């Protein structure tokens, strides 16, 4: 499940936490929000950022043998 969590502090700072998004695509998700919030002071990446998406693909090969009977 993809979630964005925001904590707004009394002094106006906003902490944003993204979970459930694998790889650097979390930057694309949060880019517009961060532009509206203001200057990003600190950014920490999680293990999900460095994880790679798994694309499972199956390749089937067929072998045809012809006989010279």
Domain residue limits, the chain: 3-50
What pTM, to 2 d.p., does this model score? 0.61
**What digits encode the pLDDT tens for the residues 5-57?**
999 999 999 999 988 888 888 888 889 998 998 888 888 888 888 876 555 44
Measured CA to CA in angstroms, residue 1 lies from 18, 20, 22, 44 at distances of 11, 5, 11, 20
pLDDT higher for 50 or 64?
50
Closest to 14 measured CA to CA, from 25, 6, 4, 24: 6
What's residue 66's pLDDT? 60
């Amino acid at each position: 499940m993809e979630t964005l969590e925001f904590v707004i502090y009394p002094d106006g700072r906003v902490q944003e936490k993204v979970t459930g998004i694998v790889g650097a695509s979390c930057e694309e998700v949060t880019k517009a929000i961060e532009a509206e919030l203001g200057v990003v002071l600190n950014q920490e990446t999680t293990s999900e950022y460095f994880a790679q998406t798994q694309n499972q693909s199956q390749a089937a090969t067929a072998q045809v043998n012809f006989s010279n009977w």
